[in-house]
């Protein structure tokens, strides 16, 4: 808090928030980690030790490579740094391998890649107009948004305890959103296309991106009342968006198309044959939890509404 107070006076409160959460991440290095720690160690080994033609066929470990090619290349790049920490972690046959150096490398790799997340949060904050709020720092929308994103407790648990790279991936998505707000639509579309080839679960956001870009970019003019001027539709802009998606997809999937391995890649990305969940109790638990949460929220709202009605009378 002292650091935040000092930073507030000099206008560097964002840097203080980012530095503070980074120090917290360092404190979490020796904490518990889940099987995803071994998943990513195995992917480091696969991409480092084997030719690209075997990446999506390798099955020595049960934790096979099932992320899109850009993430595989990401692991490949990381592996060339990992070899200076502990070469043994890059052996495909060293299942469930762990060492203090492996732990340090994988933890620090997540912390380092969060630099993109921090930058994306800063860019999103620039898109917020906070002129109509109070002078107190804690009342500023930019400060509130920064705290909610940078100090997101769920993200800290998932990435820095459980072990994932979601901060890096969320950074790509937030940066693409910031570019859309800044009217840099082609950059936003490009970043989102890249994100899809890092982690395909973001496909569920694609319809929202498509509708937004169609409305805000492909239609170039509005009527005075804000509705669409239909004659302003630009086929050139639609084609340019399609070209961006095509080029990114070609760069990602092209090598596997050349190797005639696209069916194998897609079978890993969308494993319908084995079911989409590794453990069936997990989705069942969360389905019950979400249903209970919804019921409780409705009950709480009804009680609040009843209380407000009685207070009015």
Query: What confidence tens digit (pLDDT) does each residue in 205-258 have?
Result: 999 999 999 989 998 887 777 778 888 888 999 999 999 999 999 999 999 999
Give the contacts of 216 (CB within 8 A, at least 6 positions apart).
180, 185
Answer yes or no: is pLDDT of 277 > 60: no
Q: Ranked by mean pLDDT, which of 9-23, 127-141, 283-297 comes out on top?
A: 9-23
- Mean pLDDT on 148-171: 95
Confidence grade of residue 137 (pLDDT, cut at 50, 70, 90): confident
Please state the domain extents for the chain: 12-273, 277-305
Query: Once rounded to an integer, what is the mean pLDDT over residues 9-33?
Result: 88
The arithmetic mean of pLDDT across residues 84-107, rounded, is 95
Q: Does residue 1 carry a pLDDT above 90?
A: no
Confirm whether pTM is higher than 0.85: no
Once rounded to an integer, what is the mean pLDDT over residues 187-204?
95
Residue 280, pLDDT score: 56
- Position 225 scores a pLDDT of 73
Q: Residue 159: is its pLDDT beyond 50?
A: yes
State residue 62 phi and psi, 5-degree precision. -70, -20
Q: Which pLDDT value is given to residue 147?
A: 94
Average pLDDT over residues 163-171: 96
Of the candidate ranges 83-92, 164-173, 213-222, the one whose mean pLDDT is the lowest? 213-222
Neighbours of 143 (CB within 10 A): 21
* pLDDT class of 2 with cuts at 50, 70, 90: very low
Question: Which residues is 222 bridged to in the sheet?
Answer: 228
Q: How far is CA 182 from CA 147, 197, 240, 241, in A?
A: 22, 24, 18, 17
Q: What pLDDT does residue 189 have?
A: 96
- Average pLDDT for the chain: 88
Give a three-class secondary structure readout of 263-294: HHHHHHHCCCCCCCCCCCHHHHHHHHHHHHHH
Phi, psi of 165 (to 5 degrees): -120, 35
């Amino acid at each position: 808090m002292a650091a935040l107070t000092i930073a507030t006076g000099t206008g560097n409160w964002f840097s203080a928030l980012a530095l503070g959460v980074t120090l917290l991440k360092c404190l979490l290095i020796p904490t518990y980690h889940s099987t995803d720690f071994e998943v990513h160690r195995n992917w480091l080994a696969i991409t480092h030790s084997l030719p690209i033609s075997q990446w999506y066929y390798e099955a020595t470990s049960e934790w096979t490579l099932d992320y899109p090619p850009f993430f595989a290349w990401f692991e490949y790049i990381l592996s060339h740094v990992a070899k200076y920490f502990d070469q043994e972690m890059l052996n495909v046959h060293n299942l469930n391998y762990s060492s203090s150096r492996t732990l340090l490398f994988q933890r620090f790799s997540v912390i380092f890649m969060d630099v993109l997340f921090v930058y994306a949060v800063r860019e999103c904050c620039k898109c917020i107009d906070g002129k109509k709020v109070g002078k107190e720092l804690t009342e500023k929308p930019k400060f509130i948004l920064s705290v909610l994103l940078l100090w997101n407790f769920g993200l800290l648990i998932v990435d820095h305890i459980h072990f994932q790279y979601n901060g890096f991936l969320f950074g790509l998505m937030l940066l693409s959103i910031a570019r859309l707000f800044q009217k840099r639509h082609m950059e936003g579309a490009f970043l989102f296309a890249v994100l899809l080839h890092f982690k395909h679960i973001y496909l569920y956001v694609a319809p929202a991106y498509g509708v937004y870009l169609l409305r805000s970019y492909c239609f170039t003019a509005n009527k005075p009342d804000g509705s669409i001027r239909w004659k302003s539709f630009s086929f050139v802009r639609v084609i340019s968006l399609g070209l961006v998606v095509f080029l990114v997809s070609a760069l990602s999937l092209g090598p596997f198309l050349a190797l005639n391995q696209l069916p194998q890649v897609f079978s890993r990305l969308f494993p319908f044959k084995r079911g989409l969940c590794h453990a069936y109790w997990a989705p069942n638990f969360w389905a019950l939890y979400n249903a209970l949460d919804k019921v409780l929220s409705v009950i709480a709202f009804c009680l609040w509404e009843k209380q407000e009605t009685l207070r009015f009378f």
